[in-house]
Structures are given as C-alpha cells and as structure tokens.
Chain A
Amino acid sequence: AQTVTQSQPEMSVQEAETVTLSCTYDTSENNYYLFWYKQPPSRQMILVIRQEAYKQQNATENRFSVNFQKAAKSFSLKISDSQLGDTAMYFCAFNNNNDMRFGAGTRLTVKP
C-alpha cells in the first residue's frame, strides 16, 4: 500500500519570506499524481498544486512551486513571498486512480 509521510508537524515563517514543506511517499506504481492541499481554519480542502509523475518539469502555480524528485520519492512544496493568508494546514497527497493517500499534515503559521 502507498504511504505518504510529512515529517514536519508544524512550521512557521515570517511574512514575505520563503518556506519549504517536505513530503515523501512510497509506492511501486509508475503512474500517479501528487498534490498539495491547503486547509485553512474554514476546514475547506483547497487544491494548491499538482504534479503528474510522468512529467519531469516541476509544477508551479504563482507563489507555489514543487520540487519533485521521482527517484527519491520526494515532493516538497515551496511557498515564496509568504502571506498571512497562507497560514493553514497543508496536506501532501498521492493518487494513483484507485487509491488516494494523505500525509499527516504540516501546520504552517505565517508571522507578521
């Protein structure tokens, strides 16, 4: 079975600075997707960014980018120019069509 590990339960960053959240996963599959979801205090699950495993190029969405290392099974999220609204729980997720797994989450606090 696939597993997803987020080793940082909590992190903090100063407003306008850059922070990187770590995620590793374990799978024997070759085709899959990886995601980062944001969960603000409203509890809503918001898709931040996704990466197709067959693509070598790292995904980027505005201030959010990933460092996808397929061989190392690593999928970190970098948030640039952190904003107060980025304060939330962040979940890394693995999906291979039949199975969607989540990490335990990283609680990120952006400090003014």
Chain B
Amino acid sequence: EAQVTQNPRYLITVTGKKLTVTCSQNMNHEYMSWYRQDPGLGLRQIYYSMNVEVTDKGDVPEGYKVSRKEKRNFPLILESPSPNQTSLYFCASKPSQGYEAFFGQGTRLTVV
C-alpha cells in the first residue's frame, strides 16, 4: 500500500531533550516536506527536500533540522525542543513532476 508513515503518533517530552520524528514513504517520491499545524494558522512549512541531499528552509525553520540521506526517509530533528514547538506535525511527499501531496498520519508533540 502506498503511504507516508510517521512515528511516533504522539510524543510528550521535556524542554531541551533532543528528539527525532521519523517520516518514510514507499512511493519513490522525490519531494518531501514537513509542516506544523497550529490553530488559526493552518499548515506552515518547516523544511522541504527536492531530492536526496537537497533540503531547503520553509516558512518556520527555526529550532528544527532535517536530513535526506535516502530518498524514502526525511526525519525531523528537534535538537533542543521548547514549549512553543508544541504542535501537530505532518510529513508529506509527492513526485517531482506531480502536484498532489500525500500526507502522513500526523505527530502530536507536546513539550513541557
């Protein structure tokens, strides 16, 4: 089944404790991206990647890191999480010449 898989679905952590949210897709898509969803703000792009070893900042990259060592994986790293990073996170992928994005199930992150 074609899908984008995020893990974990829920995470509660403490300020400053490094964490990684994984994202994997099995559709051989070149493009992958991370969004955070906050009430009243919709989905805002954090980082995106056009292909392996190519990443770029989105609208709200501060406090986040990403890597794209393999085509299928695009992990989101929070080196030192803070409470303002409490949010719902989505990973998405699409083919480079396509327009429809496929979303993961979302990760609800709470930083206390």
Chain A contacts to B: CB under 8 angstroms = 4, 6, 9, 32-33, 35, 43-45, 47, 50, 52, 91, 93, 95, 97-98, 100-105
In terms of DSSP, what is the predominant structure of the interface of chain B?
A: strand
Complex contact A9–B40 (CB within 8 A): yes
What is the CA–CA distance of A50 and B102 in the complex, to the nearest angstrom?
13
**Contact indicator A45/B42 (Cβ below 8 Å):** no
Chain A residues near B43 (CB, 8 Å)? Answer: 91, 102
Cβ–Cβ < 8 Å partners of B44 in chain A: 102
Q: Specify which chain B residues have a CB less than 8 angstroms from the CB of A6 in the assembled complex.
A: 42
Check A45 against B90 for contact (C-beta < 8 Å): yes
In the complex, residue of chain B having the shortest beta-carbon distance to the beta carbon of A35: B100
**Known contacts being A44-B105, A105-B42, is A100 close to B97, with CB within 8 Å?**
no
Question: Given that A43-B105, A104-B40, A104-B42 are contacting pairs, would A33 and B99 also be in contact in the complex, using a CB cutoff of 8 Å?
Answer: yes
**Hey, which chain A residues are within 8 Å of B40, CB to CB?**
9, 104
Give A100's nearest chain B residue, CB to CB: B101
Shortest Cβ distance from B88 into A: residue: A43
List B contacts of A100 (CB < 8 A). 33, 45, 92, 101
B42 & A91 in contact (Cβ 8 Å cutoff): yes
Q: Which residue of A is nearest B4, CB measured? A: A45
Nearest Cβ distance between residue A78 and chain B, in whole angstroms? Answer: 21
Report whether B42 and A95 are in contact in the complex, using a CB–CB cutoff of 8 Å.
Answer: no
Residues in B neighbouring A104, C-beta threshold 8 A: 40-42
B64 at the binding interface (Cβ < 8 Å): no
Q: In the assembly, what is the distance between CA of A47 and CA of B100, in Å?
A: 9
B105 lies within 8 A of A97 (CB) = no
Q: Cβ of B103 and Cβ of A44 under 8 Å apart?
A: yes
Q: Closest residue of chain B to A91, judged by CB?
A: B42
23 contacts between A and B (CB under 8 A): A4-B42, A33-B99, A33-B100, A43-B88, A44-B105, A45-B92, A52-B99, A91-B42, A93-B101, A95-B99, A95-B101, A97-B97, A98-B50, A100-B45, A100-B92, A101-B45, A102-B35, A102-B42, A102-B43, A102-B44, A103-B42, A104-B40, A105-B42
